Amino acid sequence: MKIKNICCIGAGYVGGPTMAVIAKNNPNINITIVDINADRIAAWNDSDLSKLPIFEPGLAEIIKSNRNKNLFFSTDINTAINNSEMIFISVHTPTKTYGKGKGMASDLKYIELCARNIAEVAKTDKIVVEKSTLPVRTAETIKSILHNSGSDFKFDILSNPEFLAEGTAVNDLLNPDRVLIGGESDEAIECLANIYKSWVPQEKILTTNLWSSELSKLTANAFLAQRISSINSISELCEQTGANVNEVAKAIGMDSRIGSKFLHASVGFGGSCFQKDILNLVYIAKSYGLNEVADYWEQVILMNDHQKRRFSDRLIKTLYNTVSGKKIGMLGWAFKKDTNDTRESAAIYVTDHLLNEQANISVYDPKVPHNKIQTDLNYLNTRTEDENEAGVSTSSSPYDALKDAHAVAIMTEWDEFKTYDWKKIYADMKKPAFIFDGRNILEKSEMEKIGFEYYSIGQ
């Protein structure tokens, strides 16, 4: 099958950057990204590139070069499906909040809706590519829907999981460690592989069966999150023994069998994938009766939750065991730097804990607006929307956000935080002035010279 047209269902953090890079490297293929969210599609089509719904370094330039040439954004889902030979499914697969598997299993209702829509609309053979992060054997569900649709057309199912890190997604796509394609049809696999071969070396394109591909994505995220929870558990021990977690991490990271990546102690990991994928892995293990396996991986989540709670507890204890009525300046709301994604950000949960102690929170983040911060807090459903509005303010300036604050909590490792005039910030804060560096990005000795009481993770 010759691929001339691609449809991607889902214009989010995966679909947008992935299709943009594919379009950049395959000028002879027309790519249409579709979504039911008209506002999101309008943002992708906005001539003002600063209004793109997703912030990723390098993405705006690719959109500018390819949009309306071979890269299109539309709400006309049915037309895009019908006109395409290959369809990527890149929709949200959140953790279930209801019924069986609540709190652990992935909610696949959007995946099922996509499969049913494809079955209803398709008038030619299609290659359907799973791009969303999915539980192992989800392809079986898609196959069942498509193959029992009563259609005479052929549907080949492929698994092509993404391995992107937000904040470096464009570079990860342009220079991937590997591209993984799982499937049962050699012809379909080759069609997708040929698209990637336009810029990815052949030796980096790995093919497997469907189930290995699906499970590999969950396992990769679980292993990465495990490393973060492991070093965070050691950070607590360091604080009790007088060791320095950065020195410990450097020492063990120089072991070639271990390596240095994902050994940076912090207030905890966030993002859309790590927690969701581990919970999914736990649920799968439990569903097969593998309780010891489930318990092992669940501990990664428990340690991450503990680290966030430990951070806020330490702040409260240090501020004389009360933050009631005190202003806490919070730098960063995104779960990591160079992204506007806030899903499962540690800042949300630390703020929630501090609000329960009647603190006043003042937030500055260079890419996250006030309404998104309020939405994140309201989603927790621990207070009324009015209470969240009253307890949390935002500012367009870090200096305004920290003025008259009793303490600063650094929640995101934005590079700009290192360049601030910390002498001015200190002068404008209540005394004694405290910094709680949840990302270990500032120099303790320099902050203490200014006059701050400085607390970091694992030091």
Would the CA dihedral through 222, 225, 226, 227 be positive or negative?
A: positive
Q: Return the CA Rg of the chain.
A: 23
CA-to-CA distance for 136 and 1, rounded, in angstroms?
A: 27
Same domain, 378 and 421: yes
What's the residue count for the chain?
459
Same domain, 41 and 135: yes
CA-to-CA distance for 244 and 248, rounded, in angstroms?
A: 6
Confidence (pLDDT) at 272? 85
Contact 146, 119 (CB under 8 A): yes
Same domain, 195 and 221: no
Of the candidates 93, 90, 128, 113, the residue with the CA atom closest to the CA atom of residue 13: 90
Where helices occur in 335-421 by DSSP H, the ranges are 346-356, 370-380, 385-391, 398-402
Residue with tokens 């995966």: 14
Q: Which of 208, 241, 275 is the last residue of a domain?
A: 208
CA-to-CA distance for 293 and 281, rounded, in angstroms?
A: 9
Q: What is the pLDDT along the chain (459 residues), one digit of tens a residue?
A: 889 999 999 999 999 999 999 999 999 999 999 999 999 999 999 999 999 999 999 999 999 999 999 999 999 999 999 999 999 999 988 888 899 888 888 888 889 999 999 999 999 999 999 997 776 677 888 888 888 877 788 999 999 999 989 999 999 999 999 999 999 999 999 999 999 999 999 999 999 998 999 899 899 999 999 999 999 999 999 999 999 999 999 999 999 999 999 999 999 999 988 999 999 999 999 999 999 999 999 999 999 999 999 999 999 999 999 999 999 999 999 999 999 999 999 999 999 999 999 999 999 999 999 999 999 999 999 999 999 999 999 999 999 999 999 999 999 999 999 999 999 999 999 999 999 999 999 999 999 999 999 999 998
All residues at 6 or more sequence positions from 371 whose CB lies less than 8 Å from its CB, including other chains = none
The CATH number of the domain holding residue 340 is 3.40.50.720
Same domain, 199 and 296: no
Host domain of residue 78: 5-208
Same domain, 47 and 187: yes
Contact 162, 133 (CB under 8 A): yes
Same domain, 244 and 202: no
Number of domains in the chain: 2
Same domain, 188 and 326: no
Q: Which of 208, 235, 262 is the last residue of a domain?
A: 208
The neighbour count for residue 187, using CB atoms within 10 Å, is 10
Same domain, 111 and 222: no
CA dihedral 447, 453, 458, 459 (to 10 degrees): 60
Task: State the pTM of this model.
Answer: 0.91
Strands (E), 245-368: 327-331, 360-364
Q: Report the catalytic residues.
A: 162, 217, 273
β-strand pairing of 71-74 with 360-364:
unpaired
Same domain, 291 and 188: no
Same domain, 247 and 284: yes
Residue 153, both tokens: 């057309």
Q: Which of 155, 176, 208 is the last residue of a domain?
A: 208
Same domain, 261 and 410: yes
Would the CA dihedral through 166, 97, 230, 292 be positive or negative?
A: negative
Contact 32, 8 (CB under 8 A): yes
Confidence (pLDDT) at 132? 79
CA-to-CA distance for 433 and 402, rounded, in angstroms?
A: 11
Same domain, 142 and 279: no
